[in-house]
Structure 1
């Protein structure tokens, strides 16, 4: 009796599963067509986000760095033009502050280069302040020769490392 019941149950289960088998459709639905209507929400801005270093560099056309001659910290005409561009940006966005980083090349002692980097950063800050920016929006720091952008002991590398860099403070 048990064997007969098990056989009937097995056949019934197989029949039930066979009845559930789905046949594939004769044709597939069409691919969704691209929408041609305009987006409903506000347009997403493209490019760097306001208040970021990327936005600042983009707005000043990469002129966030000024360069100096050997053992000098004076602002020349090319530096003035770059700093004027930075001042225009900062005047347009009064909530943005910057740090001016002073750098030196590898020649000289650590102490000398830290002092020279500080004079370079302060020279850039003082020029920006003379253009009407509030001094409390501009911080300075000297890295001396500790953060070179160009490695090498030649005039080309040294020239790239004698700089002041304006960096947005978040």
Structure 2
């Protein structure tokens, strides 16, 4: 292949990827996702605060993120009156400071982990799309670390908690507006089996 055809091939490759992504989003039904799963897939039974809305899709309410929770305890995490049902912490722009409205939930998760030493939690840090990739990965990491520190101060063992940052790569809500940005600046709580 000579150099004159390379840009056309590169453009074609990008177009194929974009069409495949659009097809995937269309097939998924589009819309909100407040739990950090595949973009465009709404989470069954969850509201915009990361809490159960009492609705079920015919199976366990929002099983994603509860795989490491014993079945007999899952109701604690899906009861909207229980602070354990808050499994997402949202942040202000450019901040890793935990808003005070999440204090009760953080304390409840710390106490649950302290009382269940075999349970493990992964904290997934996320950002909105603004800023460089490197900056957003670092900000997502700072957010996850600040939540981890708060949970440990509430009684959990640091060894029970791992952190990861996805930066801007896993939006909870697609869009370039204030509402989408506010839903993407978050840390998701994922209880794992390991």
TM-score, L = length of structure 2: 0.58
Find the aligned partners of 1:57 and 1:111 in 2 and give their Cα distance.
33
Give the one of 82, 88, 107 matched to 1:65. 88
1:72 Cα offset (Å) = 0.2
Secondary structure of the residue that 1:102 maps to in structure 2?
A: strand
Are 2:171 and 1:148 aligned? Answer: yes
Asked if 1:124 is matched to 2:147, the reply is yes
Q: 1:101 — aligned with what?
A: 124
- 1:79 paired with 2:79, answer no
Displacement of 1:60: 4.4
Matched pairs, number: 125
Task: Tell me the equivalent position of 2:190.
Answer: 167
Aligned counterparts of 2:126 and 2:68: Cα–Cα separation in 1: 27
CA drift at 1:57: 3.1
Mapped to 2, the partners of 1:72 and 1:50 lie a distance apart of 29
Q: Gapped runs of 5+ residues in structure 1?
A: 1-45
Stretches of 4+ moved more than 6 A in 1?
A: 46-50
TM-score, normalising length: structure 1: 0.66
Query: Paired residue for 1:18?
Result: none
SS in 1 for 2:89: strand
Q: Is the 8 A contact 1:65 1:163 kept in 2?
A: yes
> Against the structure 1 CA distance between its residues 52 and 114, is the aligned structure 2 distance closer, same or farther, given a 3 Å change threshold?
farther
Max Rg structure: 1
- Unmatched runs of 5 consecutive residues or more in structure 2: 1-59
> Once superposed, what is the RMSD of the aligned Cα atoms?
2.5
Aligned partner (choices 113, 133, 136) of residue 90 of structure 1: 113
CA contact (8 A) 1:63 1:86 kept: no
- Displacement after TM superposition at 1:61 (Å): 4.7
Q: Secondary structure at the match of 1:165?
A: strand
Q: In the TM superposition, what whole-angstrom CA distance separates every residue of 1:51-70 from its partner, at most 9, and x where no partner exists?
A: 26992632645301100000
1:50, 1:157 → 2: CA distance?
Answer: 29
Report the Cα offset of residue 94 of structure 1: 1.9
